[in-house]
Amino acid sequence: MKLVTDLARITRIAKEKEEQNWRFRSFLKAYDGPVREIDTLVHSLYQRISSEIDCKQCANCCRKIQPVLNQKDIRAFSKGLGVSVDEFKTRHLVRGENAGASRFNELPCPFLKENLCTNYEGRPQDCRSFPHLHKRDFTTRLWNVVENCSLCPIVFNVYEYLKNELWHDMRRRSASMRPS
């Protein structure tokens, strides 16, 4: 498979494959193999694919996703900006759904300039961690993975390769085992 990096194409393909992506999510949720097996495969795909995709050419996550900021993130970000926590909160944040969490008050991120974060060293943990494919327990976060397929080239390609590795390969093996 060839990597797809054109964002318009990714958005179109993800929309076309939306039903298939949700079915694959169900397949992964019911997967009877060890969770570590899927994590290992996802981590390997993530390392390979992310090494071939330059996030600075895209920055779509900064345009489409509002990261969750905890109190530590807020302190670090305001320090990086050289403003007080209160000023930063007042000017740039709204309360998130969870207690003690906040989000930026606008999209795209107000600190995105020419596809770069103007406060990169102080960026929130949610931003540092995106697209979260390096984490353990991949199958517990599939809702966001499917949704992120349409906006992140790395997530899109990892999910497509994963479908090919696990789902399509299993289907091919099953078909070849059926009696003629």
List the pLDDT tens digit at each of the 180 positions of the chain: 899 999 999 999 999 999 999 999 999 999 888 889 999 999 999 999 999 999 999 999 999 999 999 999 999 999 999 999 999 999 999 998 877 789 999 999 999 999 999 999 999 999 999 999 999 999 999 999 999 999 999 999 999 999 999 986 665 555 555 555
% of the chain exceeding 90 in pLDDT = 84
> How far is it, in rounded angstroms, from Cα 111 to Cα 34?
41
Predicted local distance difference test score (pLDDT) of residue 178: 54
Structure confidence at residue 104 (pLDDT): 96
Q: What residue spans define the domains of the chain?
A: 35-65+130-170, 66-124
Q: What pLDDT does residue 132 have?
A: 97
| Alpha-carbon torsion (77, 114, 14, 131), positive or negative | negative
Q: What is the CA radius of gyration of the chain?
A: 19
Cα–Cα dist 82/98, whole Å = 27
Write out the DSSP string of 44-78: HHHHHHHTT--GGGT-HHHHH----B-HHHHHHHH
pLDDT value, residue 1: 82
